[in-house]
Structure 1
Amino acid sequence: MGKPLNIGIVGCGAIIAQYLASFRTLKTVQLVAVADLDPLRAQAVADQYDGVRAVTVEELLAADDVDLVLNLTIPAAHADVALKAIASGKSVYGEKPLAATSAEARTVLEAAQAAGVVVGCAPDTVLGTGVQTARKAIDDGLIGTPVAATATMVTPGHELWHPNPDFYYQPGGGPLLDMGPYYVSALVTLLGPVVSVTGAASHTRTRRTIGSGPRAGEVIPVNVDTHVSGILVHAGGAISTLVMSFDAVRTKSPNIEIHGESGSLVVPDPNLFDGDVEFFGLGAGKWETLPVSAGYVEAGRGFGIADLAATPAGAEPRAGGKLAFHVLDVMESILESARTGSGVAIGSTAPRPELVPLTVLADPVAAGGAVPTQ
């Protein structure tokens, strides 16, 4: 009816600052309430955002003026909070992953379908001009039939900068489940759903040393594989090679490359919303930078919620639950393949999200005021 979608946020950790920065610029969403297990953190956010009240989680879930719950809790709590929001008749949008396991994620989607509410999930970085410009180039036939892709993320480990990195090295963590959602979501957006995978995994250390913060020097255990490789076969025939590592030091490989019969694309970092897309055509003498041609301009975290708000009733949002479930299923299957030594057929699928036309959603004039950093 032309009214903004009213948002209530559960979880007021560090990531909330990026969402608040976007919400200040978006006219189609309106933040009304925040909640956190630590009431002081919720109040700190409310104090810096006009018209927002700090409440308990129970009060937020019961609030009549909250249309959608933005779930910014830790991954282990994603399913629990989502199910409670759905039971309260509210749509839900979560940080990645959709849930800690695909089994939990399935219960969320089933509950939402039964309740007639909508599920969305990060990452929405794929809706920015970087991935979307590459997507348009593929759709326009610039590289011909896609043949292959590579996706590479290499870092020596988050313990170098994160003051509390423990969860990265416990079940549910690791480089694939932490960073893989950005890369696999981008690959599905660009090349379509995955039908089978083969994986391999290893870890070089059983302990890590925290490098910053009050716990600097503390040693923590490693109980997950920290280098994961996967071969993904897409429904359209393209084959992607994925490398996610907390063990290697540095790479000069592009974050993502897409290769077709008549050209190749370098796709910018899928953890960002923009960046240059480079093209090398068959018979060309050099790489060229493509003009920005698709995606949400100057996007940030939370634009997936604005996209959800604009999605016609009954249609799947671009950053929707089906895509997030498929991505989680793919990642779990890579790890299963690594454990068993056998290829795994992917039981789920998801529609390749529609292209985002070049669109300006943000209103920079509305972005005044301080943004919390708690």
Structure 2
Amino acid sequence: MGKPLNVGIIGCGAIIAQYLANIPRLETLKLVAVADLDPARAQAVADGYDGVRAVSVEDLLAAEDVDLVLNLTIPAAHADVALKAIAAGKSVYGEKPLAATTAEARQVLDAAREAGVAVGCAPDTVLGTGVQTARKAIDDGLIGAPISATATMVTPGHERWHPNPDFYYQPGGGPLLDMGPYYVSALVNMLGPVVSVIGAASHTRTERTIGSGPREGQVIPVATDSHVTGILVHASGALSSLVMSFDAVNTKSSNIEIHGELGSLVVPDPNYFEGAVELFTLGADAWETLPVSAGYVDSGRGFGIADLAATPAGSEPRAGGQLAFHALEVMESVLESARSGAAVQIRSTAARPALVELTVLAGSAEETTAEGQVQEIVA
């Protein structure tokens, strides 16, 4: 108690910049080491931060001063790196998805349970003020009993901006496994666990052309579906509709809408931590923007690790392995249903994580709101 959680990062690709922007802001976390298969990339990160050393993956896993491994490798390597970290006695927080398959993810959770270490997993965007304010509105009964939800993500493809987009178009990638975790995790936070799904999927192209970076113009193969739709049946009885596409161009649909007996909510993009929540109640004349009322204020990637650090031993973090496993099984089952044409029952479950009270973590920018005093969690 009172000591920062020492973090070592494995994988120094594009996503690391977002974690590096936030870990130094959080007093409960301390970055001590980084590693990458390309030593030069790890060294470039270490050079920019005092007290951070660049080491090999093996040395990071063996380091006595690393409490938690932040796993930022490609999805195909998530399980392997997590299992090695757990075998070394370290807790793990990974980028989404938890693993490439539920079979691999189950190995990770089982190994962590046996070793007595914690597992967390992105996205922690659901802990920000956007999704959490919507969650509180639902909990407060502002829309009555939830009936349905829609979740829509449309983009023409990550190869247009990502310099190394290959893994997005291989098994373990695709729009559902890449972007779906944000949406499914948000839906489970707001509406509870899923009990069955049905899906359909397609892909319109067998090749993609990289649009930026040193490989611009290079053609890469597509080996996974790039447009996926699904219906999720929640244990509560609510029905959620998903559209996840790397094929279509754009949409005017809200990222997420929740509809209830007494009103409807527009929920901000779950790929981000903030955003306006809009409410239209039965009999109203117009939409109203709700005041920020829950979630980590001024948050970003890495806040899920801070939440894990504040979670009592033996309790499940809000951005924890059980939720990540459930979301992965839901997505994997949508794809299975798309292949078979039959509904698929979901075997796992995940409790709705506890609401994040409006909170400023120590070390982040302090704010107050019209809702009143903001809670502060100290190291």
Question: TM-score, normalised on structure 1?
Answer: 0.96
Question: For this pair of structures, how many residues does the alignment match?
Answer: 366
Is it true that 1:294 corresponds to 2:304 in the alignment? no
Conserved? CA contact 1:299–1:362, under 8 Å: no
Distance 2:134 2:328 in 1: 23
**Matching residue of 2:267:** 267
Where in structure 2 are the equivalents of 1:152-231 lying within 5 Å?
152-231=152-231
**Matching residue of 1:54:** 54
After TM superposition, the structure 1 stretch with the greater mean CA deviation from structure 2, 4-13 or 101-110, is 4-13
Conserved? CA contact 2:204–2:226, under 8 Å: yes
After TM superposition, the structure 1 stretch with the greater mean CA deviation from structure 2, 24-33 or 328-337, is 24-33
Distance 2:364 2:121 in 1: 25
Conserved? CA contact 2:69–2:93, under 8 Å: yes
**Matching residue of 2:279:** 279
Distance 2:137 2:184 in 1: 19
Letter in 2 for 1:361: L
**Matching residue of 2:118:** 118
**Cα drift, residue 365 of structure 1:** 7.3
Distance 1:264 1:247 in 2: 29
Where in structure 2 are the equivalents of 1:1-374 lying within 5 Å?
1-364=1-364
Conserved? CA contact 1:181–1:328, under 8 Å: yes
**Cα drift, residue 331 of structure 1:** 0.3
Question: Any idea what the Cα deviations from partners look like across 1:332-366, whole Å, max 9, x if unmatched?
Answer: 00000000000000011111111000000152579
Letter in 2 for 1:69: V
What do you get for the CA RMSD once the two structures are aligned? 1.2
Conserved? CA contact 1:298–1:362, under 8 Å: no
Conserved? CA contact 2:264–2:281, under 8 Å: yes
Distance 1:43 1:224 in 2: 34
Letter in 2 for 1:153: M
Distance 1:80 1:276 in 2: 38
Letter in 2 for 1:175: P
Distance 1:219 1:55 in 2: 33
**Cα drift, residue 157 of structure 1:** 1.1
**Partner SS, residue 360 of structure 1:** strand
* Alpha-carbon distance change, 307 to 211 in structure 1, aligned in 2, over 3 angstroms: same
Answer 1 or 2: higher relative contact order, Cα 8 Å, separation at least 6.
1
* Alpha-carbon distance change, 365 to 127 in structure 1, aligned in 2, over 3 angstroms: closer
Distance 1:93 1:234 in 2: 27
**Cα drift, residue 319 of structure 1:** 0.2
Question: Any idea what the Cα deviations from partners look like across 1:93-138, whole Å, max 9, x if unmatched?
Answer: 0000101111000000000000000000000000000000000000
Task: State the identity %.
Answer: 82
Conserved? CA contact 2:206–2:222, under 8 Å: yes
**Cα drift, residue 82 of structure 1:** 0.5
Distance 1:18 1:168 in 2: 19
**Partner SS, residue 153 of structure 1:** strand
Conserved? CA contact 1:159–1:210, under 8 Å: yes
- Structure 1: gaps of 5 or more residues: 367-374
**Partner SS, residue 332 of structure 1:** helix
**Partner SS, residue 208 of structure 2:** strand
Letter in 2 for 1:173: G
**Cα drift, residue 167 of structure 1:** 1.6
- Structure 2: gaps of 5 or more residues: 367-379
